[in-house]
Amino acid sequence: MSNKISWDDTILPFQLDNADIRGRIARLDGLLGQILAQHNYPTVIEALIAETSLLVALIGQTMKLRWKLSIQIRGDGPARIVAADYYAPTKDGEPAKIRAYASFDKDRLSNTEDPFSQIGKGYFAILIDQGSGTEPYQGITPLDKGSLAECAKAYFDQSEQIPTRFELAFGRSTMAGQPEQWRAGGVMLQQMPKASPLKEGAPKAPVLPDETELENWNRANILLDSVEKLELIGPTVTPVELLIRLFHEESPRVFDTQKAEFGCSCSEDKVRQSMSIYSAKDITHMTTPEGTVTADCQFCGAHYQLDPKTLGFEAT
């Protein structure tokens, strides 16, 4: 029996016309299962990957065609690295692609503690790659906010100066007659920025919200506070139904749904490119007794076997 639901693995952009607030509702289901199936992760690591994948879906949906948005989390705790990438569609109407992985110290990991506590001290980074010929943008915030969602909020508060709110839920879900699987869902709200009146030649500056905007923002947050975890994960509640239930008095307006799927950009050419920085001596040290150089993709598990004679550079 298939457990695929029509709103699985989708991101729904919306706008609250009465409040000048925009947002997204994301649902990750089969896609999340494919990400987690690449490795035998402990439950606490699966939870961190689920939250990071959900954040990259909610934030990445604003990316222009062919752009890439990455979230990278690095800490000094047992969960050393959590990373997720959102590849925007190459054409309108195509699905976005999402991938994620984590690196961790199994011996130090605790499955009974809060997942966020397993990262320790470090940083939360958002990187935006607009393609060849451009410098990637990077924004960093410390891991001192209590959750990855709060770290993402802090990034927008500090780097973009846009009031932002995330409400997320993720976990193992079981529907009648179907196997247990990971599901994740969330809502992202942002106050729409307004252009400030500028004198010619004057530098741009953030516009402070007026009293009405603050009231609108506070009201939307109070309404979002009423959401239930099962509504966010939503096996039986569509994104549109959730939007109307929460914000029907704010005149919600929906836009085209963005589909998402698991996808990895690794290739033999990229592996060869990464090996091109090594000397022939370095390549010799990497060569297996069988006479090959091997590489594994951390995201999708793809295994590459390469001829060492075709790798690296020759010293002159």
- Segment-wise mean pLDDT, segments of 10 residues, the chain, 316 residues: 70 95 95 92 96 97 91 97 96 95 95 93 95 88 94 92 95 72 94 60 54 92 96 89 96 96 83 78 82 81 80 56
HSE, CB side, 13 Å, CA atoms: give it for residue 236: 7
Query: What CATH number should be reported for the domain holding residue 77?
Result: 3.55.30.10
- 157/301 same-domain check: no
Same domain, 29 and 127: yes
For residues 103 and 159, membership in a common domain is answered with: yes
Both 238 and 300 in a single domain?
A: no
Token reading at 125? 């980074």
Q: State the DSSP code for 249.
A: G
Q: Is 159 exposed, middle or buried (0-12, 13-18, 19+ CB in 10 A)?
A: middle
Q: Is residue 303 part of a domain?
A: yes
- Does 80 share its domain with 140? yes
Does the residue 146 lie in any domain? yes
**Of the candidates 223, 282, 230, the residue with the CA atom closest to the CA atom of residue 248:** 223
Q: Please tell me the predicted confidence (pLDDT) of residue 278.
A: 79
Residue with tokens 């606490």: 44
115 and 230 belong to one structural domain: yes
Q: Do you know the residue count of the chain?
A: 316
Let me know whether 183 and 273 are in one domain: no
Going by C-alpha positions, the residue among 44, 48, 5 that lies closest to residue 28 is 5
Please give the mean pLDDT across all residues of the chain: 87
Domain assignment present for 2:
no
Residue 130 domain-assigned?
Answer: yes
User: How does strand 181-191 pair with strand 21-28?
Assistant: antiparallel
User: Is the domain of 258 the same as that of 273?
Assistant: no
Which residues on adjacent β-strands are paired with residue 139? 126
In a domain, 179, yes or no: yes
Orientation angle between helical segments 43-60 and 148-155, nearest 10 degrees: 30
Is pTM beyond 0.75 here?
A: yes
List the one residue out of 227, 243, 216 whose CA is nearest residue 167. 227
Q: Kindly state whether residue 233 falls inside one of the protein's structural domains.
A: yes
What are the two backbone dihedrals, phi and then psi, of residue 34, each rounded to the nearest 5 degrees? -65, -40
Same domain, 156 and 128: yes
Q: Minimal CA–CA distance to 271: which of 308, 232, 217, 221?
A: 308
7-8-11-13 Cα dihedral, nearest 10 degrees: 20
Q: Where are the strands (E) in 201-262, listed by range?
A: 252-254, 258-262
How many domains are contained in the chain? 2
Strands (E), the chain: 10-16, 21-28, 68-75, 79-87, 96-104, 122-129, 137-142, 164-173, 181-191, 252-254, 258-262, 293-296, 303-306
Q: Are residues 278 and 168 in the same domain?
A: no
The tokens of 10 are what?
Answer: 């989708």
256-284: burial string, b at 16+ Cβ within 10 Å, e else: ebbbbebbbebeeeebbeebeebeeeebe
Residue 200 lies in a domain: no
Q: Is residue 5 part of a domain?
A: no
Q: Which residues are paired to 187 by β-bridges? A: 25, 167
Same domain, 36 and 178: yes
Identify the domain containing residue 294 by its residue range: 268-310
DSSP for 120-146 reads -SEEEEEEEE--TTSPPEEEEEES-SS
Paired residues of 138 in beta bridges: 127
Question: Do both 29 and 103 map to the same domain?
Answer: yes
- Which element (helix H / strand E) includes 196? none
